[in-house]
Amino acid sequence: MLPEGWKTILARVWYYLHNEYTFGKIKGSVLTLVTGALIFALALLLSRTLSKLLQHRIAKKAYLDPGLHYTIGRLTQYLIISIGLLVALSFGVGLDLTSVAVIFTALSVGIGFGLQYIAADIASGFILLFERPVRVGDRISVGKEEGDVQSINLRTTVMTTNDRVSVIVPNSQLVREHLINWSYGDPRARIAIPVGVAYSSDVDLVTQTLLEAAKDVDNVLRDPPPKVQFLKFSDWSLDFRLLIWTNRPRLHTQIRSDINFRIEKLFREAGIEIPFPQTELRLREGSVHIDSEDRLHLENDSPPQTSDN
């Protein structure tokens, strides 16, 4: 039998543990708060244990993606923590789960505005899969990047460049922005190679030399034959354009390089000059005159002064 004093103390402790405190619509006691904290701590421990167990079991499956076990483990951990938090709030402060549903509904509106770009990427992914303007294996150019499409996922598209670098592009960028698909439609494509020559050059010689540069180059078609166009008289040069056709448009960078090597060699042999911008400045009595050569002339029209000595 406990003394009366101890009984009184225990009764008071039991009273304070069970006595409910009200904060607005939230009601709770010390005992319920401790119970909620224990439930949440148990949920944390359970989430970590199950996450590690799932990752260990999935990692043994050699045919599964190595990153899959991490994703599943994380999702499991987040799910258990979320459920544990809701149960802890329900036991700890008597929070009605319907109120939680209302809160999550309000939050979902804000989250929706924050995730609008992700939603656009997902919708664009379905457009790419069904409309198929871009297919796996196509050679595409997006902005400054160019490569082969490796996969079209729900939110992103993965393309591999010539340097074997994987570029991850949001699907909405492929649908919304300017894109070049070198493998779409007709397998043939025309490649334009611009070149400028000096004003003193023989136009007929330039034309024949450019056509000669396009002969016997790998992946350049003979039919349609190469063609040279005289574009314009620019400030520093006569501008031409060599047009060639290829059935390997995805190799357009290498084809341009091969032809440019031949143009430089043949122009040097034929004595055809490729000009560069030149400017001539002349100063006359404080004024500036700009001519077409890269020389600076300082001139004074006043007669030279002579000495009497």
Q: Domains (ranges, CATH) in the chain? A: 18-114 (1.10.287.1260), 133-181 (2.30.30.60), 189-270 (3.30.70.100)
* Residue 3 pLDDT: 64
Average pLDDT over residues 5-28: 60
Weakest-pLDDT range from 6-15, 192-201, 213-222, 244-253 = 6-15
Q: How far apart are CA 74 and CA 51, in angstroms?
A: 7
| Other beta carbons less than 10 A from residue 285's beta carbon | 8
| pLDDT level of residue 28 (50, 70, 90 thresholds) | low
Q: Quick one: which of 223, 222, 221, 149 has its CA closest to 182?
A: 149
Question: What is the maximum span of the chain, computed from C-alpha positions, in angstroms?
Answer: 139
The per-residue pLDDT for range 123-132, each reduced to its tens digit, is: 898 888 888 8
Mean pLDDT of 181-204: 89
Query: What's the whole-model pTM score?
Result: 0.54
Is the model's pLDDT at 57 over the cut of 70? yes
Lookup: tokens for 117 = 């770009």
Q: Are 136 and 128 in contact (CB under 8 A)?
A: no
Among candidates 221, 217, 275, which has minimal Cα distance to 246? 221
Does 298 have pLDDT greater than 90? no
Q: Provide the mean pLDDT of the chain.
A: 79
Q: Decide if 210 contacts 242 (C-beta within 8 A).
A: yes
291's tokens: 């001519």
pLDDT of residue 306: 46
R_g of the chain computed on alpha carbons: 38
Distances in Å between the Cα of 44 and the Cα atoms of 50, 54, 87, 168, 259 are 10, 16, 13, 34, 65
Q: How confident is the model at residue 92 (pLDDT cuts 50, 70, 90)?
A: low
Share of the chain above pLDDT 70, in %: 69
pLDDT given at position 98: 62
* Mean pLDDT score, 204-228: 93
Q: Is the pLDDT of residue 275 over 60?
A: yes
Among 59-68, 71-80, 191-200, whose mean pLDDT is lowest?
59-68
**Lowest-confidence region among 23-27, 90-94, 207-211, 257-261:** 23-27
Mean pLDDT throughout 192-208? Answer: 94
Rounded to 5 degrees, φ, ψ at 57 are -70, -40
Strand order from edge to edge, sheet including 166-170: 166-170, 156-160, 145-152, 139-142, 180-181
pLDDT for the residue 93: 62
Answer yes or no: is pLDDT of 59 > 80: no
Specify the pLDDT at position 74: 74
**Cis check: omega of the bond before 224, within 30 degrees of 0:** yes
